[in-house]
Structure 1
Amino acid sequence: MRSSRRVASAVVLAAALLLPVAGPAAADPVVSPLAPALNPYFAQELTWGACTDLARTAADREAYANPQYDCAFLEVPLDYGDPAASTARIAMLRQRALDPAARIGSLFVDPGGPGGSGVSFLPALAGLLGDGEVARRFDLIGFDPRGVGVSEPSIDCSTTEEVDAERADLDLDTSPEGVAQTEAEFREFADRCAERVGLDVLENVGTRDVARDLQIAHEVVGDPQLTYLGYSYGTSIGTEFAEQFPTEVRALVLDGAVDPSLDPVASRTTQARGFQRAFDGFAAYCAAQPECPLGTDAAGASARVQELLTPLVDAPVPTSDAGRELGYADAVTGMVQALYADSLWPPLLDGLRQVARGDGTNLLILSDIYYDRAPDGSYGNLLEAFPVISCMDGDRLTDRAVAREVNEANLALAPFLDAGYGASDVLELCSFWPVPPTSDPGPVDAPGLPPVLVASSTGDPATPYEDGVSLARQLSARLLSVDNDGHTVVLQGVNACADEVTTRYLVDLVLPPADMTCARPPAPAS
């Protein structure tokens, strides 16, 4: 799932009594039928150096210039079925443990997506952790999964101009002609990826292979077992690693869980309920503010926001970014981006007020954040990697009756996104993908897995709370419920109780004696 980081001031809450969890014995050396061919990868020595060459944006360059960070590339097989044939390179950015004498090992971190860059995310997380215990005791390592960010080869299917065109494409027409046009665009994108990225790469960028890369990574940095923190889609990476290598887990923290056990309809509708819940929360906030463009009746806000935005279908509004306008698609994307965290509700409110006055500036900025657009107009590959990796991980929807059922359910569950064009039986991009999936969704089976921690926010819009409950049950994990409206929460200074539970587990392998809940911090005094 798309993931967005949230920053807030910490408020101290009392942590519950904790009980120790026995850690598993150190893993034996990796044994595999392909072991001889994999041996060079496990035996490699990383060359850590300056990170500046990995920067894509000015913000990256400024962050990476900090001498506390160093970077390296990990060599892995492109195709684990033929390890000697060709290689991929996994980019990693590291902050060394601030207290080397107390160092436990490395903490690998993934921010989500699929397609989120752990390299660019790690400095932000390190800033939140400061000189706290996790930063003192662990080397913090952010990595770009294969195909993502600055890892090589990269999933690069579209030019800047093609991404701009895709952002402007509405795909609202649910007539047979409109469905055919949308599906033709899906086929064109799939063909473009096959031509520009290569089938050999597309066949090997799924989460199955990311987990295999992590097995090499934790061994190469000197850790016999993996310590891992995954947010949002990053929970899928952690879950996949747990299934493939359960005895190689030291600690897994999975925050904002993706539930692999959902059926084809539920897996495609779970976010709709979560985002409507977040929109309803925003509508109540808006109704209490002066000049709320959605009115004072929060119950009618879903219809009102569409009344405000649908005129943009035919008449985009100007923005302060010279030559750029805000159309309907970008307006909706900007609104959805802001619903990932209630800290973005004020700019969303300002953006909707602006639209009412014929100005699209704020919503376009929010949409640019979603699309990972840099100030110079260039894009990262997050929104290209997202569908490519998703297509390798999921089932393929080929039944038009099921497609219509999904579309109808999403419109019913999230009326704030209903533009009034009716349900469609359009198939998904992945229905036209040129290579078969490499993962088969289903309940998790990880015998021998030590106790792990699943955190789930009660108001998470993108990965709803119920999905975390389900994943914790499948993993026999400890569930940490957090009264929180944002997407993901632990170790971000949002909830001191959740941060303390997570820290004790990562550092001491100590979990609460039972599933527990962290209350919402009191609002700061005005």
Structure 2
Amino acid sequence: MALVRNGRGALMVAVLAVVAAGCTLTTDEPQGPMPTPPAELTKFYTQTIQWGGCRGFGAQDDRFAPNAECARINVPIDYAAPDGATAQIAVSRIKATGKRIGSLLMNPGGPGESGLTMSALGNKTPLAEHFDRVGFDPRGVGSSTPAIVCETAQEQDAERAEPPKDNTPHGIAEAEDENREYAQRCTERTGKEFLAHVGTREVVRDLDVMRAALGDAKLSYLGYSYGTKIGSAYAEKFPDHVRALVLDGAIDSSQDPVQESLRQAEGFQKVFDAYAADCVSKGECPLGTDRAQAVQRFRELVNPLWDKPVSTTDPRGLNYGDALTGVRQALYSNDMWPVLTLGLSELRDGRGDTLLQLADLYDGRRDDGTYSNTTDAFNAIRCVDDPRISDREITAKQDAEYRKAAPFLDDGRGTGAAPLDQCTVWPVPNTSDPHRISVTGLPKTVVVSTTDDPATPYQAGVELAAQLGASLVTYQGNRHTIALSGGSSCVDRAVIDYLVDLKEPAPGLTCAPNGR
């Protein structure tokens, strides 16, 4: 069972809904002395950013706030060879409207999600007054260049259209052959040298270059989901360069990929159960009238897709894999539960349009049939961030435990075996390993964790806060990430007060939906 991407769902909707009004920058608050960069990297740290319009920055022209400006920041592909080839990090900015504290850099997660339009996050709050809000695409992602590219749009459509594979010897061999073919395409189209340098290890170095190029002596950062891994790794590498970190939807970097996937399975099952209870309580639920039977009713809806897709207005139709992807996408936020009910009701009636649209949203497929590079970037970054799991006994046990942890995702075809993950045939080695974060000299930071978060379960936030010595803000809800999404003014107040005034949240602060 593969890991599910982090950093998807309500945050994306919230960011796209924000439109900022342009104002003029006024006086700045004084900053301390700029840290001295390594001599061999001085040209990157002291570069002048050439800001301009955002047209042409990817396929997102119509999603930028009207007063956003964009640029690219040069970084070395290999920090051990700074005179070699360079990459360009795409950034967007909306200037502070009042007394400026500095820049607030933001990342939505993934790994592989574009963060450019995040510069509009926090509109009409003190963040807009006091910070230049800066969104960025990490190296290889979105509008940054070079881009991680493994498959064409036609190849991605074809891959999604393939019938599902069971865990028979033939199905396992076929899946592992496809993994090798995919890794080969990534090598040919992206280049082995760049693939070796797309991990979090390099992203935190890029983040420090961005901090300096933006003119900030200290970093203020807001990261969601995988963005919390970037933030915590930055804290570990550059603790003296940190002003403020808010990490929402935390990843615990001490977990190995197997532990992380099983925690995700438990998280998604918990949220599915909550969705089912809500659906049943409202009547006319496609999962029936008994919440105890919801998993069985769900499997009765999706199992027939294994052999035969259902029709959609799109000629592709809805197959088994896309149906489950669409369901997972909707479980990222309880705001999307009504859409999930619609999708399952359609499926009950022999149609699949809504679930196909949800799957397209998850996979980054645009209306014109092209794709963002989110999936390719996710795979490439994960395979250099995580250790290889090449023991078939471990893989088989993981598959069995995943099915137990998330029965709504269990196709009932477990065989006691499973294919090896695609990272076992990745062309470059991993550059990070699971470990507890140990850091001294770090100022107070903030971790936000949601009690029923499907993708980054609550306990990971508890553990990350303990490792960083951070304040923990608990949100009681069913969604993935919450800060500045409009879902809790309690969380928003704590986050904004901390970022602006460095005011620590009250010990044990717990927030609920609807502003409480």
1:4 aligns with 2:4: no
Aligned to 1:19: none
The secondary structure found in structure 2 opposite 1:317 is coil
What pairs up with 1:12-31 in 2 under 5 angstroms? 26=32, 29-31=35-37
Aligned to 2:403: 411
- In the alignment, the residues of structure 2 paired with residue 339 and residue 29 of structure 1 have an alpha-carbon distance, to the nearest angstrom, of 43
Aligned to 1:61: 61
- In the alignment, the residues of structure 2 paired with residue 26 and residue 390 of structure 1 have an alpha-carbon distance, to the nearest angstrom, of 36
How many angstroms does 1:28 deviate by? Answer: 5.5
1:148 aligns with 2:147: no
How many angstroms does 1:459 deviate by? Answer: 1.0
Moved more, 288-297 or 179-188: 288-297
- In the alignment, the residues of structure 1 paired with residue 136 and residue 362 of structure 2 have an alpha-carbon distance, to the nearest angstrom, of 20
Aligned to 1:84: 83
From 503, 509, 512, the equivalent of 1:516 is 509
1:108 aligns with 2:114: no
- In the alignment, the residues of structure 2 paired with residue 83 and residue 49 of structure 1 have an alpha-carbon distance, to the nearest angstrom, of 26
The secondary structure found in structure 2 opposite 1:75 is strand
How many angstroms does 1:339 deviate by? Answer: 0.2
Please tell me whether the aligned partners of residues 76 and 89 of structure 1 are also in contact (alpha carbons under 8 angstroms).
yes
- In the alignment, the residues of structure 1 paired with residue 397 and residue 9 of structure 2 have an alpha-carbon distance, to the nearest angstrom, of 32
What pairs up with 1:366-515 in 2 under 5 angstroms? 366-422=358-414, 423-515=416-508
- In the alignment, the residues of structure 2 paired with residue 5 and residue 346 of structure 1 have an alpha-carbon distance, to the nearest angstrom, of 14
Aligned to 1:180: 173
Please tell me whether the aligned partners of residues 269 and 406 of structure 1 are also in contact (alpha carbons under 8 angstroms).
yes
1:299-325 deviations in whole A, cap 9, x for unaligned? 22112111111111111111122x120
* Paired residues, number: 493
The secondary structure found in structure 2 opposite 1:499 is helix
- In the alignment, the residues of structure 2 paired with residue 221 and residue 264 of structure 1 have an alpha-carbon distance, to the nearest angstrom, of 35
Q: What letter corresponds to residue 429 of structure 1 in structure 2?
A: Q
Q: What letter corresponds to residue 35 of structure 2 in structure 1?
A: P
- In the alignment, the residues of structure 2 paired with residue 45 and residue 507 of structure 1 have an alpha-carbon distance, to the nearest angstrom, of 26
Classify 1:261/1:502 alpha carbon distance in 2 versus 1 (closer, same or farther; 3 Å).
same
1:397-440 deviations in whole A, cap 9, x for unaligned? 01011101111111000000011111433110111111001111
1:179-236 deviations in whole A, cap 9, x for unaligned? 1110111111111101110011000000010000010100111101110000000001
From 336, 353, 371, the equivalent of 1:361 is 353
The secondary structure found in structure 1 opposite 2:56 is helix
Q: What letter corresponds to residue 319 of structure 2 in structure 1?
A: G
- In the alignment, the residues of structure 2 paired with residue 506 and residue 218 of structure 1 have an alpha-carbon distance, to the nearest angstrom, of 16
How many angstroms does 1:171 deviate by? Answer: 4.1
- In the alignment, the residues of structure 2 paired with residue 55 and residue 172 of structure 1 have an alpha-carbon distance, to the nearest angstrom, of 34
How many angstroms does 1:130 deviate by? Answer: 2.4
- In the alignment, the residues of structure 2 paired with residue 41 and residue 264 of structure 1 have an alpha-carbon distance, to the nearest angstrom, of 34
Classify 1:170/1:258 alpha carbon distance in 2 versus 1 (closer, same or farther; 3 Å).
farther
Aligned to 2:74: 75
Aligned to 2:26: none
From 305, 323, 327, the equivalent of 1:331 is 323
Classify 1:295/1:246 alpha carbon distance in 2 versus 1 (closer, same or farther; 3 Å).
same
1:251-295 deviations in whole A, cap 9, x for unaligned? 000000011112453122110000001100111111123321211
Aligned to 1:119: 116
Please tell me whether the aligned partners of residues 171 and 182 of structure 1 are also in contact (alpha carbons under 8 angstroms).
no
Aligned to 1:347: 339
- In the alignment, the residues of structure 1 paired with residue 145 and residue 75 of structure 2 have an alpha-carbon distance, to the nearest angstrom, of 10
1:39 aligns with 2:42: yes
Q: What letter corresponds to residue 497 of structure 1 in structure 2?
A: C
Q: What letter corresponds to residue 116 of structure 2 in structure 1?
A: V
The secondary structure found in structure 2 opposite 1:392 is helix
Structure showing greater relative contact order (alpha-carbon pairs closer than 8 Å, 6 or more residues apart): 1
- Over aligned residue pairs, what C-alpha RMSD do you find? 1.5
Q: What letter corresponds to residue 273 of structure 2 in structure 1?
A: D
Please tell me whether the aligned partners of residues 27 and 247 of structure 1 are also in contact (alpha carbons under 8 angstroms).
no
Q: What letter corresponds to residue 176 of structure 1 in structure 2?
A: P
- In the alignment, the residues of structure 1 paired with residue 150 and residue 486 of structure 2 have an alpha-carbon distance, to the nearest angstrom, of 36
Aligned to 1:50: 53
- In the alignment, the residues of structure 2 paired with residue 67 and residue 366 of structure 1 have an alpha-carbon distance, to the nearest angstrom, of 28
- In the alignment, the residues of structure 1 paired with residue 39 and residue 189 of structure 2 have an alpha-carbon distance, to the nearest angstrom, of 32
1:165 aligns with 2:158: yes
Gaps spanning 5+ residues in structure 1: where? 9-24
Aligned to 1:296: 289
Gaps spanning 5+ residues in structure 2: where? 15-30
- In the alignment, the residues of structure 1 paired with residue 343 and residue 317 of structure 2 have an alpha-carbon distance, to the nearest angstrom, of 13
1:351-396 deviations in whole A, cap 9, x for unaligned? 1110111110000011111011110010000011001000111111
Identical amino acids, percent of aligned pairs:
46
Moved more, 288-297 or 178-187: 288-297
Please tell me whether the aligned partners of residues 323 and 359 of structure 2 are also in contact (alpha carbons under 8 angstroms).
yes
Q: What letter corresponds to residue 411 of structure 1 in structure 2?
A: R
From 227, 231, 234, the equivalent of 1:238 is 231
Please tell me whether the aligned partners of residues 487 and 515 of structure 2 are also in contact (alpha carbons under 8 angstroms).
no
Taking structure 2 as the reference length, the TM-score comes to: 0.93
- In the alignment, the residues of structure 2 paired with residue 484 and residue 316 of structure 1 have an alpha-carbon distance, to the nearest angstrom, of 34
- In the alignment, the residues of structure 2 paired with residue 26 and residue 522 of structure 1 have an alpha-carbon distance, to the nearest angstrom, of 36
Taking structure 1 as the reference length, the TM-score comes to: 0.91
